Each structure stands twice: as structure tokens, then as C-alpha cells.
Amino acid sequence: MSEIPYKTYLTENELPECWYNVRADMKTKPAPLLNPATRQPMTPTELGKVFCDELVAQELDNDTPQIPIPRPVREFYRMYRPSPLVRAYFLEKALGTPAHLYYKFEGNNTSGSHKLNSAIAQAYYAKKQGLKGVTTETGAGQWGTALSMACAFFGLDCRVFMVKCSYEQKPFRREVMRTYGANVTPSPSDTTAVGRKILADFPGTTGSLGCAISEAVEAACTNEGYRYVLGSVLSQVLLHQSVIGLETQLALRKLGVKADVIIGCAGGGSNLGGLISPFMGEKLRGEADYRIIAVEPASCPSFTRGRYAYDFCDTGNICPLAKMYTIGSRFIPSPSHAGGLRFHGMSSILSELYDEGLMEAVSVEQTAVFKAAEMFARTEGILPAPESSHAILGAVNEALACKESGREENIVFGLTGTGYFDLTAYQSFNDGTMVDQIPTDAEIEAALAKLP
Amino acid sequence: MSEIPYKTYLTENELPECWYNVRADMKTKPAPLLNPATRQPMTPTELGKVFCDELVAQELDNDTPQIPIPRPVREFYRMYRPSPLVRAYFLEKALGTPAHLYYKFEGNNTSGSHKLNSAIAQAYYAKKQGLKGVTTETGAGQWGTALSMACAFFGLDCRVFMVKCSYEQKPFRREVMRTYGANVTPSPSDTTAVGRKILADFPGTTGSLGCAISEAVEAACTNEGYRYVLGSVLSQVLLHQSVIGLETQLALRKLGVKADVIIGCAGGGSNLGGLISPFMGEKLRGEADYRIIAVEPASCPSFTRGRYAYDFCDTGNICPLAKMYTIGSRFIPSPSHAGGLRFHGMSSILSELYDEGLMEAVSVEQTAVFKAAEMFARTEGILPAPESSHAILGAVNEALACKESGREENIVFGLTGTGYFDLTAYQSFNDGTMVDQIPTDAEIEAALAKLP
């Protein structure tokens, strides 16, 4: 069909030796996290109460471009990486586009997504620090699954606070975590003070991500030998996820292909930031130019309809303030099926890059997203996650624009994961009962009015 | 860690050009299928009423060693093949064995198993014959999923009769098939005469595989432009699945590794037959020797406790008779969680090879299987299907024997798929409620007494 194979695999020896820290090449650094009480930048000591020491150092490091990937993390990466860069020949054919579509597929591991790339790094540093375990929260369950796999590997205790309604509605995700030995607690629970208070105030509540974060942070701070870990938003997470972009960059180089457009779905920014970092680095250093497009859900449009301001990262407002594109920590997004994209804010790094005009953003509606997902599944043979399908739709729209104009662009997008635990969403699409729920201007204004 | 990588991927150009037909090298050919009415070998004309013409030819071909893989099938294979041969370094370390463990992983596609290898071939021949569509049955759902993906690719109608209790208990499998455009009917249904009769005789029945087969065959024979397709047992299926073994053989050759033992799980024989075919060929031609071990569930032990005799392939006794190791088509296995291994008989090819002493068989209990599955998940990072986990346990036992004796064997096993749709089984294991149900001698004797 062509000299370019369907799937390009790097060898294991070509796995990056270092993560790439895009902050080092940014002229304006992302704004620091602020202590919610003092409104002063969080100090390493303050952060060290919640996060592992080495991760605090990575969080605050705006200068070192290359940060070595520890050997045990690289060994673990070799189990499921390098991930393939796939030429979507069959999708191109179905679209009748002159564009060339490539996707970096992160779903070929049991966590089902890219989340494992950062989970294993965070678990490693916790182990290295001699900790007993880590705590976290999970909503949809991808992050919790990835973390439980990482903790099983290093023999760390893993305590996951899972939003109670997800715990009950997604028993399968819960069982994967349990199989990896994680302790999964429905949140709110009576194992923490904040959980007990919420249960007393709101008996019968099915919980929220904000509440689960609060419980996980409390559990980390009050149990000797535990720290809290997070799967998105933070700069350290984008750093670990840069392995996605570095592999993509090398694979394209080996194929002799120059990307014109790079597209990723955007929730908290972990995948998008990881995919684009090295390309953004080239752009920041003036070595190459790329169009970079974030695709976010119209139901939770932080880039396209939010404000660039300091806001809380959690609904409970106990975590540090981050400067980011946000639609307000009090904003409650409609129950979109792309749970991984329902965060009100956006990584500080990506927010700064977007604010400087270095990348674009579009928002899309979920029925259109699932239509693209169905087309992708039928042509490319992979059932995509709802989150990933936002990037598919972005790429399809770009490919159709190329068809219109006759441009033979190289479009690269991130396919973050598989939809095997999202069949309830597919069912509502198959049944024709899925609807689009887009916030009104008044709703967004009301949420933004409550910014701190 | 070593010069041997974790994952060995062949290039797409190294994909086999032909399937390998092990029957060509067998001195005693597998016994022919018999017409249940006349007890005479089924003729091509008789078989052609149920199966596609080219598949009938493949079913009856005991002589041609190399059968070319059609170009469109090879193109489809390139989307998800060659599949990796993985060195299980972390499992070896956990076991403390001097043995080297390798597994051929067939789970990196949305059907979640090796079933897609034959589904795409069968769909291709149906399309080539100008048919409108195909019918089939599915129990656990792997085969139905694979077939729906294959039919979506070629634009064929796909009608799947899904055992009613599975249809209701496994809504997620059903939704994957629907996403690929398949028409999924709970069986028994009122869409066929046999279904209506069963519903009249047994109102409220939740169905059985035998009943679903009967409905699928009737639907194929009574609808113009349809044929019936099957995912295991048949010689044509083992032929298509030989792509697994051919890739394994080539990858080992490139690594300079000589396998000592080859292990696969055994239900109807599709995966095991595919994996071992080329190695068995070497053995039959006197070019090399291997120990070959089938691992079957103790709850459905056709090799280890069955009889080599002619029997019906379906519970309803409407299909041709096959000579095979069987525990009787009337045998109802206990509700083991490895649905894919609950078939009462075994491929005629494998049955003949086993009868000649060219391979071994062991049976294992499911609680031990899930213990091995858990260990594998935690060390190798892949949540295995219950079926595949039988092969894992077989390999673990062999590796522990090597530890005992100090032998540095190369053990190769087939990891047929992932367990993402089998979390109910994992839950019962995690909860400690899983039990082993092994048929008594009296139960097996009773079933064997009813052989035709």
C-alpha cells in the first residue's frame, strides 16, 4: 500500500532516556501554585507534606529541559512501550481525504490509557522515599487503575477513594483495581474526618470528585508514610507524559514525515501536554512550526469559554490555587460520558501556552464525538475511549477540511485509550438516547463570578 | 537486562503470506465430518449449504501445506498484527525460575482475543462469494465481537444469536457488537422455527449454546445470501489461526531461541491448534522435537477424561458428527468462568495428534487458574482472560518444575486475550467465593453412554 507501515514501533533501546520539561523553553513560565490561606507561592516544605519530595522538585523545576527517567521506570515502560504510531489508512480511505492521518495509540495496556506513564513514575518516587503507600481519588477509574498497577509492581500500598456512584455503577473498574491489590473505598466514607462530616451533613450522598480528593489528601496527611498522588493538571504529570510526544517525534523522524497539525483531547491536560511538549519545544526554540489543537467537550469548555485566572483545583477548595483557564471550581458539568474531560480547569503549562497564542482550541459535542468514535471503530478496528474520541473528531474535521481544500497535510493525533469500560456510553449512543448538554452563558458567568 | 527485548515485533512485511495446513504433514488425517442422517462423510455440496464455498474447500483440504492468505485479509491483519512475542522477565523473576518464559499475546485488538484472525478470513470469503451476510452464535461473546468487527470492515450483515442469559448478563459485549453494526438477537428467539419451538416447549428459558447454534444454522439456511460461520473446532479455523504459530516460529528464529515446551489453553482448539501447527509440522517432518501441552479446565476435561469417538458438535444434535475427544454432547459443564473452554469436544486435528501421542494434556482447576492470573497481572501488567490464564498456569507449573530440577528451558505459551469483559469472574475470585466444580466419574460415564 505504501512504504509507510500501518504501525511504527520504535525498538526498546529507542525509548527516551529523559523526559522533556517544556517549561525550560517557555519564555513566560507557568504561574506558581498558591497557598490558599496566604496566597503566597507554595514552598517545597508545604508541598512536601502532600507530595513525595522528588515530585515536589519536579513540580517546581522550570529550568531543567531533560530530566532522566529512572532505570526501574524505564524497565517498566519496556513492558508496554514504545507505543505504536499508527497510520490510519482505512480511516483516510473512508473519509476520502488527501490528508495523512497518524495516531499515537496509548491504549495497549491494562489501565487502558496513557495514565500508566505517570502512575509508574509517581509510585517509583514514593517507593524510593521509603513510603508505605500512596492515596488518590478516582472518578471514571482510569487513573485509579493505572496507579493500582504501578503500586502492585513496586509493592506499595494503594488507597483509592472512588466516587461512590462510580464505585456502584462501575464495579468492573473497581474489580480491576482490587485484582491489583488496591484498597478501594467508596467516597464519602467514614475512614476520614472530612468524609464523616459530609456523611453527617448529607446522608445518602453519592459523592463527588471534590469530596474524594479531600478524603485522599486527608488520608495522605494523617497516615504516617503516605503521600497523595494526582494523575493530571500538575506540571510533573505533563513531564512524565512527555514520553508520548518524544516517541512520536522520533517515530515521525524515522519515517521522514513532518507533522503539520497535532491534535489531542483536553481535560486536565495530561495527555495533550505530554503529546505536544517536544513539538512545542521546537516551536518555542524557533526550530519548526506546527498547528497544535486542543479538543475539549462543549459540556466543559475551559479553554474556549473559560477565563485565565487563579482558581482552586478541587471542588472542595482545600487544595492550592493554580493559575489556569477555568470555568470555575463551582461549575458542575453535565454528565458527559467523557468523565476524564470533566475537569473545570486546565494545566497551568497549557493555559500559559494557549494564552500566548501558541496553540488553538475547539470544543465539540458528544453525539458528534460518538459518531466519529463509531466510524473509527469500524474502520481502524479499535473501540476508542470517549475522551480519546474527542481527538478523533478533531482530526476527522481537519481531514475533511483538507479534502475541501485539497491540502495533503500530515495530521497527528493522540489516541489516549480504549473504551472497554465505557460501554454504557456507547449503549446510549447506539440506542439514540444520548443528548448534548451545553452550559448557557448565564451558567458559565455564574460559575466565573465565584472565582477566588 | 539482556539482549532479548521484552517484546519482539516482526515487521509488517514479515507477516506470513500463507497459512500453514498441518493436515498436509499428518500421516493419519483427521477423520471426516459425517452426515448425521446417513453417517456418510459430508460432501462439498452438503457443506456448501451451510458454509461458504471456499471455506468448504479449506475444510476438506488435507493435502495442501501452504494456503495463500488473500491480500485484503493480510491488509486487515496489518492493522493489529504481527502480534508481539513477549519475554516474561518479571514473571520469571517472581517465580525465581531458571526457565525462560515467552508468551505470544493475541489480546491487543478490540475483540480482545485471537478470534479475529479467523473471523476476518471467513468474512472475506463470504464477501467474495457475493453473500449478503453471515450468521453465528456466541456465548461469552469473544467470537461474536470478532465477527462483528470483520463484517463491519467488509460491509457484510452480521446476525449474532447470543445465548439469552449472556445477552442479559453481558450487556457490554452486546454493545460492542452493536457498535460494529451487528444484529444481536437473544436466543431462543421468535425469529426462527427452532427458536419458536423451544420457547413454546420451555417458556422462560434463558437459552443454551446448542440452541443458539441451531437458530444460527437455520437463519443461514433459510435466508437467501447468508451462510453460517463458526469460530472454533473446524479445521478451517485452525488453518487461519496458524498465523499465530507462524509468527511465533519466525520471532523465535530471529531471536535465536529454540523452544523446549509449547503450551496453550484448549477449548475447541482454535488457539492451541493455531499456535502449535507449525511446530507440530516440524515434529511430524522429523525436523525438530517439542513438548506440546494442552491445558484444559478440570470442569470440562475432554482430553484428559473424554473418549476419542464420533459425536455431535452441538447440544441440539443437528450439526454433522465429528470424530474427536469428547465428554459427550449431552454433558453440561459447571458454570466455569472460562466460557470459551466449555465445549464438550475438541478439534478433530488436535484429537488425532493427541491420540497419536504427539502432544500432552493436563487439566487444572479454576481457583488455581485465577491465582496464576492475578500473579501474571501484577507482574506482567496484563489482565488476562480466564481462558488464557489456563495456559499461564500451565507455564507457571512448568517453570516451577524447572526451578526444582534446575533446567533452563524455553517455555512458550499462548496468551489468547484480555479479561476486560470477565470482571464478574475476577470479582468472585477477589471475594473468595469462587469454587471448583469437577464432574464425578459417574457424571462423565453417563454423558459418554449417550454418545451416538
Using one digit for the tens of pLDDT, what is the confidence trace for B224-281?
Answer: 999 999 999 999 999 999 999 999 999 999 999 999 999 999 999 999 999 999 999 9
Q: Which of B180, B374, B423 sits opposite A378 (nearest CB)?
A: B180
**Taking CB atoms and an 8 Å cutoff, what residues of chain A touch B418?**
110
Q: How far apart are CA B53 and CA B50, in angstroms?
A: 9
A88 and A151 belong to one structural domain: no
Q: Answer whether B176 sits within 8 Å of A80, measured CB to CB.
A: no
CB A160 within 8 A of CB A251: no
- CA nearest to A264, candidates A347, A200, A356: A347
CB A236 within 8 A of CB A55: yes
B321 and B431 belong to one structural domain: yes
Tens-place pLDDT, residues B136-181: 999 878 999 999 999 999 999 999 999 888 888 888 999 999 999 9
B92 and B172 belong to one structural domain: no
**Taking CB atoms and an 8 Å cutoff, what residues of chain A touch B379?**
153
Peptide bond into B188 cis (omega under 30): yes
Among the candidates B200, B228, B256, a domain finishes at: B228
Cell numbers for A28, please give them.
513566560
- Best A90, A179, A183, A375 member to test B by mutation, with max B CBs in 10 Å, is A179
Tens-place pLDDT, residues B95-144: 999 999 999 999 999 999 999 999 999 999 999 999 999 999 998 789 99
CB A329 within 8 A of CB A263: no
Q: Which of A1, A75, A420 sits opposite B75 (nearest CB)?
A: A1
**Taking CB atoms and an 8 Å cutoff, what residues of chain B touch A170?**
none
**Taking CB atoms and an 8 Å cutoff, what residues of chain B touch A421?**
420
Residues forming beta bridges with residue A21, ordered by sequence position: none
Q: How far apart are CA B255 and CA B260, in angstroms?
A: 14
Q: Which of residues 169-228 of B touch A (CB under 8 A)?
A: 171-172, 175-176, 178-181
What pLDDT score does A374 carry?
A: 98
Per-residue pLDDT band at B316 (split at 50, 70, 90): low
Tens-place pLDDT, residues A1-18: 458 999 999 999 999 999
The answer to whether residue A47 sits within a structural domain is yes
Share the mean pLDDT of chain B: 94
Q: Is the pLDDT of residue A315 over 90?
A: no
Chain A touched by B102 (CB under 8 Å): no
- CA nearest to A90, candidates A30, A1, A175: A1
Structural domain including B185 reads 34-68+115-228
AA letter at B409: E
Chain A touched by B303 (CB under 8 Å): no
Q: Which of residues 156-175 of B touch A (CB under 8 A)?
A: 171-172, 175
Q: How far apart are CA B432 and CA A288, in angstroms?
A: 57
A88 C-beta neighbours (distance < 10 Å), count: 27
Peptide bond into B82 cis (omega under 30): yes
Q: Answer whether A381 sits within 8 Å of B79, measured CB to CB.
A: yes
- Best B11, B13, B392, B423 member to test A by mutation, with max A CBs in 10 Å, is B423
Q: Is the pLDDT of residue B356 over 70?
A: yes
**pLDDT above 90 covers what percent of chain B?**
86
For residue A321, give the H/E element and its range: strand A321-326
What pLDDT score does A1 carry?
A: 40
- CA nearest to A235, candidates A77, A434, A26, A437: A26
Q: Shortest Cα distance from A167 to chain B (angstroms)?
A: 13
Among the candidates A169, A197, A228, a domain finishes at: A228
Question: Which phi and psi (to 5°) does residue A427 adopt?
Answer: -60, -45
A173 and A260 belong to one structural domain: no
Q: What helix, strand, coil percent values describe chain B, rounded to 5?
A: 45, 15, 40
A262 Cβ contact list (under 8 Å, min separation 6): A275, A276, A279, A290, A291, A292, A293, A412, A413
For residue A252, give the H/E element and its range: helix A235-255
- Best A2, A3, A4, A7 member to test B by mutation, with max B CBs in 10 Å, is A7
Peptide bond into B171 cis (omega under 30): no
- CA nearest to A280, candidates A5, A80, A23: A23
Per the structure, how many domains does chain A have? 2
The answer to whether residue B20 sits within a structural domain is no
Among the candidates B228, B254, B271, a domain finishes at: B228
- CA nearest to A109, candidates B210, B377, B159: B377
- CA nearest to A47, candidates A231, A312, A228: A228
The answer to whether residue B21 sits within a structural domain is no
The answer to whether residue A73 sits within a structural domain is no
**Taking CB atoms and an 8 Å cutoff, what residues of chain A touch B377?**
110, 152, 179-180
B252 and B369 belong to one structural domain: yes
One-character DSSP codes across A86-100? EE-HHHHHHHT-SSE
CB A233 within 8 A of CB A222: no
**Taking CB atoms and an 8 Å cutoff, what residues of chain A touch B113?**
none
Tens-place pLDDT, residues B194-222: 899 989 988 888 888 778 888 999 999 99
Q: Which of B109, B172, B423 sits opposite A175 (nearest CB)?
A: B423
AA letter at A53: D
**Taking CB atoms and an 8 Å cutoff, what residues of chain B touch A418?**
110
Q: Answer whether A6 sits within 8 Å of B78, measured CB to CB.
A: yes
One-character DSSP codes across B87-131? E-HHHHHHHT-SSEEEEEE---STT-STTHHHHHHHHHHHHHTT-
Secondary structure class of B278 (helix, strand, coil): helix
AA letter at B151: C
Cell numbers for A124, please give them.
517509583
DSSP β-ladder status, B66-68 and B18-20: antiparallel
A157 and A258 belong to one structural domain: no
Q: Answer whether B426 sits within 8 Å of A1, measured CB to CB.
A: no
Q: Answer whether B78 sits within 8 Å of A109, measured CB to CB.
A: no
Q: Which of A175, A374, A378 sits opposite B427 (nearest CB)?
A: A175
Q: Answer whether B109 sits within 8 Å of A381, measured CB to CB.
A: yes
Q: Is the pLDDT of residue B417 over 90?
A: yes
What pLDDT score does B335 carry?
A: 73
Please tell me the total number of residues recorded for chain A in this structure.
Answer: 452
AA letter at A156: L
**Taking CB atoms and an 8 Å cutoff, what residues of chain A touch B11?**
5
What pLDDT score does B340 carry?
A: 78
The region of weakest confidence among A157-171, A258-272, A388-402, B24-38 is A157-171
Q: Answer whether B110 sits within 8 Å of A381, measured CB to CB.
A: yes
**Taking CB atoms and an 8 Å cutoff, what residues of chain A touch B6?**
12, 78-79
Which chain A residue shows the shortest CA-CA distance from B83? A7
Q: How far apart are CA B449 and CA B248, in angstroms?
A: 41
Share the mean pLDDT of chain A: 94
- Best B79, B105, B255, B427 member to test A by mutation, with max A CBs in 10 Å, is B79
Q: How far apart are CA A80 and CA A119, in angstroms?
A: 14
Q: How far apart are CA B192 and CA A353, in angstroms?
A: 62
One-character DSSP codes across A151-210? HHHHT-EEEEEEEHHHHHH-HHHHHHHHHTT-EEEEES-TTSHHHHHHHHHSTT----HH
The region of weakest confidence among A45-59, B220-234, B325-339 is B325-339
CB A133 within 8 A of CB A151: yes
Please tell me the total number of residues recorded for chain B in this structure.
Answer: 452
- Best A14, A81, A103, A108 member to test B by mutation, with max B CBs in 10 Å, is A108
DSSP E strand boundaries for B5-119:
7-8, 18-20, 66-68, 85-87, 100-105
**Taking CB atoms and an 8 Å cutoff, what residues of chain A touch B148?**
none
B159 and B306 belong to one structural domain: no
The answer to whether residue B57 sits within a structural domain is yes
Cell numbers for A419, please give them.
473504551
The answer to whether residue A1 sits within a structural domain is no
Cell numbers for A336, please give them.
458527559
Distances (CA, A) of B262 to A323, B279, B360, B386, B394: 57, 9, 10, 19, 10
Q: Is the pLDDT of residue B1 over 50?
A: no
- Best B14, B83, B87, B110 member to test A by mutation, with max A CBs in 10 Å, is B110
Q: How far apart are CA B192 and CA B286, in angstroms?
A: 50
Q: Shortest Cα distance from A342 to chain B (angstroms)?
A: 23
The answer to whether residue A25 sits within a structural domain is no
Cell numbers for A300, please give them.
466543559
Per-residue pLDDT band at B314 (split at 50, 70, 90): confident
CB-defined contacts A:B, below 8 A:
116
Chain B touched by A75 (CB under 8 Å): yes
A202 and A64 belong to one structural domain: yes
Chain A touched by B154 (CB under 8 Å): no
Alpha carbon distance, N-terminus to C-terminus of chain A:
57
Question: Which phi and psi (to 5°) does residue A286 adopt?
Answer: 75, 20
**Taking CB atoms and an 8 Å cutoff, what residues of chain B touch A423?**
171-172, 175-176
> Model's pTM, two decimal places?
0.96
Q: Answer whether A378 sits within 8 Å of B75, measured CB to CB.
A: no
A354 Cβ contact list (under 8 Å, min separation 6): A294, A303, A325, A346, A361
A193 and A256 belong to one structural domain: no
Q: Answer whether A7 sits within 8 Å of B78, measured CB to CB.
A: yes
The answer to whether residue A23 sits within a structural domain is no
Largest distance between two CA atoms of chain A: 65
Tens-place pLDDT, residues A96-124: 999 999 999 999 999 999 999 999 999 99
- Which is more confidently placed, B90 or B315? B90
Residues forming beta bridges with residue A115, ordered by sequence position: none
Q: Answer whether B381 sits within 8 Å of A80, measured CB to CB.
A: yes
B102 and B127 belong to one structural domain: no
DSSP E strand boundaries for B171-214:
183-187
Q: How far apart are CA B306 and CA B449, in angstroms?
A: 11
B105 and B119 belong to one structural domain: no
A217 and A287 belong to one structural domain: no
Q: Which of A12, A78, A152 sits opposite B378 (nearest CB)?
A: A152
Secondary structure class of A327 (helix, strand, coil): coil
Q: Which of B9, B79, B423 sits opposite A172 (nearest CB)?
A: B423
Question: Which phi and psi (to 5°) does residue A94 adopt?
Answer: -65, -35
CATH number at residue A279: 3.40.50.1100
Secondary structure class of A58 (helix, strand, coil): helix
